[in-house]
Amino acid sequence: MQLKHKIVTLSVLPLILSVLFICVLVFAQSRKLEEEQARLVESSIMTAKKAELRNYLSLAMSLIAPLYDGGVDDEATRNRALAILSQANFGRDGYFFVYDQHGKNLMHPRQAELVGKELITMTDKNGLPVIKALLNSAREGDGYQLYDWQKPSTGQITGKLAYVVMLDRWGWMLGTGIYIDDVEVATLKSRQEVASGVLTTVLAIASFSLVAVLVIFAGGLMLNVSEHRLADRKLTLLNQRIVNLQEEERSRVSRELHDGISQELVSIKFQYELAAMELARGGEGGLENLRKGTTRLGAAIGEIRRISHDLRPSLLDTLGLSAAIDQQVREFEQRTSIRTQYECGMAATDVGPEVSLTLFRIIQEALANVERHAKATTAIVSITAQQGMIVLRVEDNGVGFDTNAADDSHGIGLRNIRERADHHLGSVTLASVHGRTELQVQIPIVNA
């Protein structure tokens, strides 16, 4: 082989091997990502459904509250309550059911043949004693129970998530449920999206590789130092683009999460409508329902503000880094009851907007790790300027951990911190023993 052919071959073979390795790695990672995303989607949907069930059952309780709280326990009062609940349907397959404490069905608006029957021994297709499990969950558990039940709209047996509570004075178990066949559909869609994204990535890699091979053959020996420098600049721009895309995605999620609280707002709307009906009838529960609705509305507004602040702190853009960190620390202390101290030893003018965002995100990630893993009672966040470097320290008095094991783990928290610091040519030092963990980040001060 001629020398130029050897050089071209030595250039092409590593590229081909690298592309094959990357493709194998992408497929391997995609399987892991597919499972993680599927679990995340399922967990998110189930959490939303649990919140929705709580809201629906709160509405049902408010409907019969005038009767239940009135202190009258005769048969007529209970029958009136059952009649109200039997009419309080929601959606296509949403309804409320009532059993006594011995498993006897007292009201079922969609399956009238069950009313009056003792169903304590009834099991679903998996052998679960449904009514017994519901009673146990209402008495001793969190009120939630998964089982299989006939879906009214289709007549098919499918999974159902129920939420039940005990009305002890009447000896009732009141509950409602949501069919979760859509969870499997959403999970499958998530897997398909990941698979589609992986295929697109592999095709893009293959296309880029083919173009690169053609360029190598066409260019021959036209490889020099300037090409290497150009590649380095492109890699730096790519890293910056990844960081920018991450921030853009956080902003998008921030907007979308505002819509995610719609179920709570719908429940609040029902609360106000109920209050309006009570007031129109001259009932005594109208003002109480208004107060409850107002309280829940305030909580919903506070949740929206908290989520929005976590994703994109407005104080960082308006009042600067120090004010944003101070608010973050105070909110962290209030939320976790971990006594947290913030010490600032530098002027805000010393930090540019990109570095400010990086420092804020590092503190946000570090405090999240303290909350999740440290089991600490106190924490200290300090930021100073020393010898041309911005020095950030986050300390806690938690249980500590093995820093070598943390570096070898697949967690993304510390990796995100290191990547953010690396982007600004900074360094990260981590030290941990039982009773004290310190994260130190140093970033050079760049004068404009």
- How confident is the model over 268-298, as pLDDT tens digits? 787 778 778 878 877 777 778 778 778 878 7
- In terms of average pLDDT, the best of 32-41, 78-87, 315-324, 438-447 is 78-87
Local confidence band at 257 (pLDDT 50, 70, 90 cut-offs): low
Phi-psi region of 431 (alpha: psi -120 to 50; beta: other; left: phi over 0): beta
- Backbone phi and psi for residue 156, each to the nearest 5 degrees, phi listed first: -90, 150
Distance CA 448, CA 428 (A): 24
Of the two residues 265 and 213, the one the predictor is more confident about is 265
User: Which ranges constitute the DSSP H helices of 69-180?
Assistant: 75-87, 130-140
Q: Is the dihedral of CA 137, 141, 143, 149 positive or negative?
A: negative
SS3 state of residue 305: helix
Local confidence band at 320 (pLDDT 50, 70, 90 cut-offs): confident
Amino acid code (one letter) for 252? R
Q: How many CA atoms lie within 13 A of 268 on its CB side?
A: 16
Average of per-residue pLDDT across 103-121: 91
Residue-wise pLDDT tens digits, 213-228? 677 666 664 554 565 6
Q: Kindly report the average pLDDT of the chain as a whole number.
A: 81
Statement: the pTM of the whole predicted model exceeds 0.95:
no
DSSP string, 333-377: HHHH--EEEEEEES-GGGS-HHHHHHHHHHHHHHHHHIIIII--S
Hey, what are 206's tokens?
A: 């293959």
pLDDT for the residue numbered 211: 74
Closest CA relative to residue 213, chosen from 20, 448, 419, 433: 20
For the beta sheet containing 389-396, the strands, ordered from the edge strand earlier in sequence to the opposite edge, are: 339-345, 378-386, 389-396, 436-444, 427-433
pLDDT for the residue numbered 103: 92
pLDDT for the residue numbered 410: 45
Distance CA 56, CA 152 (A): 18
- Backbone phi and psi for residue 389, each to the nearest 5 degrees, phi listed first: -125, 140
pLDDT for the residue numbered 448: 46
Distance CA 43, CA 38 (A): 8
Closest CA relative to residue 26, chosen from 189, 215, 209, 186: 209
> Cβ–Cβ contacts within 10 Å for residue 303, how many?
14
pLDDT for the residue numbered 117: 92
pLDDT for the residue numbered 222: 57
Average of per-residue pLDDT across 416-436: 88
Whether residue 96 has pLDDT greater than 90: yes
pLDDT for the residue numbered 406: 66
Of the two residues 245 and 15, the one the predictor is more confident about is 15
pLDDT for the residue numbered 32: 77
The secondary structure of residue 446, as a DSSP letter, is P
Residue-wise pLDDT tens digits, 56-74? 999 999 999 988 888 778 8
Cα separation values, 46 from 33, 87, 184, 280, 295, Å: 20, 26, 11, 37, 25
Distance CA 369, CA 413 (A): 7
